[in-house]
Chains A and B, each alone.
Chain A
């Protein structure tokens, strides 16, 4: 080897290393067997797409029954009968929710969509995040309706709480917390009792009440799925912190809860929600079935999220805790500002997987008699006009589920890229 003081100047990478052309060249270089396999694979995919399209493109949108579909198709086999979706799509969306009140869930979900969009951005401004809370408070009232007064009290209280966050800063944290708890308690009490204090003419002012039994379709899936997702994340994080805590009681309780919930099938919890819970509650209490289901699904999801977060907490180096401690940050500041942001980032794929699973698991409520899309599908197929329809309804439900689950998974990958800060 000769020694030289001249450095070799950098050269561009060869063309074949990247780009579509490069890939084709690389494929060709692999020899004929690879080429043949590739051609067969692409041909199989094309055939499948063609088969699906041939089935799906079918002029049966206006048919009123399966018999009419057959008439329109005149003996052609292997064609979809879309009349069922045309006739029943509103039912698949909202179940037996009153048609005249359709605007309420529609408005609620549009607002929620905007709020979620605002919240999910990485760099959302603090004000946007605060405004985004409003649709979440508004949605229950829009969906269930009833006299407006309790909700006005709760909504007012929520707004006041936001103002309080601004005013009560930097004083004693424990006193702050106590004041807030007392305030929330007072608001709830007022909300429960306010209607007694009002004159009868004002008492029933508000949107027409809708019973939980009338909820159905994707409205029900979204409602249960979204609530469970929303509540299970903070609860899961709390359980994970509890399980890794130094306090023995907290650790035992958290661990016991997680292991119990994970050891029981969701369907069992749902049966408890639908039947068993009534036995334990005092007679005459009317505890809403949807709320009961949301609680059970939330508990179920939070146990899984707790374990995912616990794994991520363990993956954050111990030096981070020490670095934060050496600066004088206390336990909660350390967890909130240093450990959890890193742990949650690590656990994004796991958490989103759980969210997707929870959203799909909401279809289990059809077993306890709630009319989610699958429950409705059974209903529709029991209708004499549509007996024998299978693929169209389930395919429609599958498509909607796929769109939302796929969106969640894409969002999680986008979020991971956004949070990449060049370490590791």
Chain B
């Protein structure tokens, strides 16, 4: 698959010729991907296929050695200022939530707006409460993360990212560490977010979610994008053998 290397105002993320090595191990190989504004992309693939590494490259949590990543018109370089700008525009949710345990839920949500965006505290708190209501846990605002269930914590993590008013949201296996009964509440939040028009890249194995909201599904294996398609044909008639194998294992049980 070759992508035209050109950017339009409609492009949210442009990845060209991305390569990454961990020591001698070639983790990402010639990745090309263009994400339009408002597009929802689900990335799946076996463990170790590089899907997390790829989306972590987008906000520079991982360094890449070759290729170019352009996020919202900003080219990611080693310049730290650039990186902080990109990160404040790109929200991210992690598998293990990564909430700050020494701060209350509200403080978790207001910290970055106050310190990075220099927003007055009262305004930041109002915004935080707005998003906490959106993820349906405003009543927990003054508790600490350790007092919440996993599902609630992940919803707080989503609200915390949204408080920075990001243009793009990255999800790195947001439901993998959750009990089955809590997965739904997090997915519902993500679906609502998708319906609001957010640009989203989700690494997830929740295929129901993929069918429901994804504009495109990407299958990765051994550091490469093996197959990409709209959900319907991707699930019904995968072309690549490895995709077929993966899907049969995933849906088989």
The CA of A331 and the CA of B112, in the complex, are separated in Å by 13
- Other A-B contacts than A170-B118, A326-B61, 13 sampled, CB-CB below 8 A, are A317-B96, A324-B100, A325-B87, A326-B87, A326-B91, A326-B92, A328-B89, A328-B164, A329-B84, A329-B116, A333-B115, A342-B100, A421-B146
The CA of A422 and the CA of B140, in the complex, are separated in Å by 14
Identify which of residues 22-44 in chain A touch chain B, using a CB-to-CB cut-off of 8 Å. Answer: none
The CA of A424 and the CA of B59, in the complex, are separated in Å by 29
**Contact across chains for A327 and B144 when beta carbons are under 8 A apart:** no
A344's nearest neighbour on chain B, judged by CB, is B102
Q: A326 — which chain B residues lie within 8 A by C-beta?
A: 59, 61, 87, 90-92, 94, 98, 161
**Contact across chains for A424 and B116 when beta carbons are under 8 A apart:** no
**Contact across chains for A421 and B87 when beta carbons are under 8 A apart:** no
**Contact across chains for B87 and A345 when beta carbons are under 8 A apart:** no
Q: How far is the CB of B165 from chain A (nearest CB, A)?
A: 11
Q: A322-B98, A326-B91, A329-B112 are in contact. Are A421 and B144 (CB under 8 A)?
A: yes
Q: A328-B164, A337-B115 are in contact. Are A323 and B101 (CB under 8 A)?
A: no
Identify which of residues 125-161 in chain B touch chain A, using a CB-to-CB cut-off of 8 Å. Answer: 144-147, 160-161
Q: How many residues of B contact A (CB 8 A)?
A: 31
**Contact across chains for A345 and B61 when beta carbons are under 8 A apart:** no
B118's nearest neighbour on chain A, judged by CB, is A170
**Contact across chains for B118 and A328 when beta carbons are under 8 A apart:** no
The CA of A324 and the CA of B107, in the complex, are separated in Å by 13
From A170, A338, A419, contact of B100 by CB (8 A): A338
Binding site for B on A (CB under 8 A): 170, 317, 319-320, 322-331, 333, 337-338, 341-342, 345, 419, 421-424
Q: B71 — which chain A residues lie within 8 A by C-beta?
A: none
Q: A170 — which chain B residues lie within 8 A by C-beta?
A: 118
Q: A330-B80, A423-B145, A424-B146 are in contact. Are A323 and B98 (CB under 8 A)?
A: yes
B90's nearest neighbour on chain A, judged by CB, is A326
**Contact across chains for A329 and B100 when beta carbons are under 8 A apart:** no
**Contact across chains for B98 and A320 when beta carbons are under 8 A apart:** yes
**Contact across chains for A328 and B61 when beta carbons are under 8 A apart:** no
Q: B160 — which chain A residues lie within 8 A by C-beta?
A: 327
Q: Interface code B75-109, partner A: CB below 8 Å = 1, 0 otherwise?
A: 00000100011011111101011111110000000
Q: A322 — which chain B residues lie within 8 A by C-beta?
A: 61, 94, 98
The CA of A323 and the CA of B164, in the complex, are separated in Å by 13
Q: A324 — which chain B residues lie within 8 A by C-beta?
A: 100
**How many A-B contacts at CB < 8 Å in the complex?**
79
The CA of A15 and the CA of B91, in the complex, are separated in Å by 53
Q: How far is the CB of A344 from chain B (nearest CB, A)?
A: 10
The CA of A323 and the CA of B80, in the complex, are separated in Å by 17
The CA of A329 and the CA of B160, in the complex, are separated in Å by 13
Q: A338 — which chain B residues lie within 8 A by C-beta?
A: 100
Q: A319 — which chain B residues lie within 8 A by C-beta?
A: 94, 96, 98
**Contact across chains for A323 and B87 when beta carbons are under 8 A apart:** no
Q: B102 — which chain A residues lie within 8 A by C-beta?
A: 341-342, 345, 419, 421
Q: A320-B100, A341-B102, A423-B145 are in contact. Are A328 and B94 (CB under 8 A)?
A: no
Q: How far is the CB of B80 from chain A (nearest CB, A)?
A: 7
Q: Can you sample 8 A-B contacts with CB below 8 Å?
A: A326-B91, A326-B98, A327-B112, A328-B88, A328-B112, A328-B164, A331-B80, A345-B102
Q: A329 — which chain B residues lie within 8 A by C-beta?
A: 84, 111-112, 115-116
B87's nearest neighbour on chain A, judged by CB, is A328
Q: B112 — which chain A residues lie within 8 A by C-beta?
A: 327-329
The CA of A419 and the CA of B116, in the complex, are separated in Å by 26
B56's nearest neighbour on chain A, judged by CB, is A322
Identify which of residues 46-68 in chain B touch chain A, using a CB-to-CB cut-off of 8 Å. Answer: 59, 61
The CA of A327 and the CA of B101, in the complex, are separated in Å by 16
Q: Tell me which of A317, A338, A419, A424 has the highest count of chain B C-beta atoms within 10 A of its own C-beta.
A: A338
The CA of A149 and the CA of B17, in the complex, are separated in Å by 67
Q: A322-B94, A328-B116, A337-B115 are in contact. Are A422 and B144 (CB under 8 A)?
A: yes
Q: A421 — which chain B residues lie within 8 A by C-beta?
A: 101-102, 144-147
Q: A323 — which chain B residues lie within 8 A by C-beta?
A: 94, 97-100
Q: How far is the CB of A367 from chain B (nearest CB, A)?
A: 43
**Contact across chains for A328 and B84 when beta carbons are under 8 A apart:** yes
Q: B146 — which chain A residues lie within 8 A by C-beta?
A: 421-424
The CA of A384 and the CA of B112, in the complex, are separated in Å by 70
**Contact across chains for B147 and A422 when beta carbons are under 8 A apart:** yes
Q: How far is the CB of A74 from chain B (nearest CB, A)?
A: 64
B112's nearest neighbour on chain A, judged by CB, is A327
Q: A331 — which chain B residues lie within 8 A by C-beta?
A: 80
B99's nearest neighbour on chain A, judged by CB, is A323
**Contact across chains for B80 and A327 when beta carbons are under 8 A apart:** no
B117's nearest neighbour on chain A, judged by CB, is A328
The CA of A220 and the CA of B100, in the complex, are separated in Å by 42
**Contact across chains for B118 and A327 when beta carbons are under 8 A apart:** no
The CA of A323 and the CA of B96, in the complex, are separated in Å by 10
Q: B115 — which chain A residues lie within 8 A by C-beta?
A: 329, 333, 337
Q: A320 — which chain B residues lie within 8 A by C-beta?
A: 98, 100
Q: How far is the CB of B52 from chain A (nearest CB, A)?
A: 11
Q: B97 — which chain A residues lie within 8 A by C-beta?
A: 323
Q: How far is the CB of A321 from chain B (nearest CB, A)?
A: 9
Q: How far is the CB of A261 from chain B (nearest CB, A)?
A: 30
